[in-house]
């Protein structure tokens, strides 16, 4: 019975590390990863695994705000555009 407490603490610590190590990047963002203050890589959209202790993650939004840009559709409908999304295939 005495070994259950350290085992529970180890399991809790392991669970916290696993949940903090995965990063889900949405389609309209990129994430810059810094390891100990030095640039390491850029994460593209998808699921990625990083070290939660030594890696710092900074999110970059690729949406571009447009102040009231108006446009016309081919059906002659007047529309107002609020954001432009940059897309890289």
Q: Give the pLDDT confidence of 38-82 residue by residue, as tens digits.
A: 999 999 999 999 988 899 999 988 877 667 677 777 887 777 777
**Better-predicted residue by pLDDT, 12 or 73:** 12
Q: Give the pLDDT confidence of 19-39 residue by residue, as tens digits.
A: 889 899 998 899 999 999 899
Rg (CA), the chain: 22
Q: Give the pLDDT confidence score for residue 79 in this predicted structure.
A: 77
- Quickly tell me which residue has 């108006």 as its tokens: 70
- The domain spans of the chain are 4-85
C-alpha separations of 88 from 3, 32, 46, 81 in Å: 53, 17, 14, 20
């Amino acid at each position: 019975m005495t070994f259950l407490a350290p085992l529970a603490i180890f399991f809790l610590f392991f669970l916290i590390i696993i949940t903090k190590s995965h990063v889900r990047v949405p389609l309209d963002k990129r994430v810059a990863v810094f390891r100990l203050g030095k640039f390491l890589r850029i994460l593209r959209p998808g699921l990625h695994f990083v070290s939660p202790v030594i890696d710092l993650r900074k999110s970059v939004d690729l949406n571009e705000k447009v102040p009231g840009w108006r446009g016309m559709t081919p059906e002659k409908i007047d529309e107002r555009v609020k954001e432009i999304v940059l897309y890289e295939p």
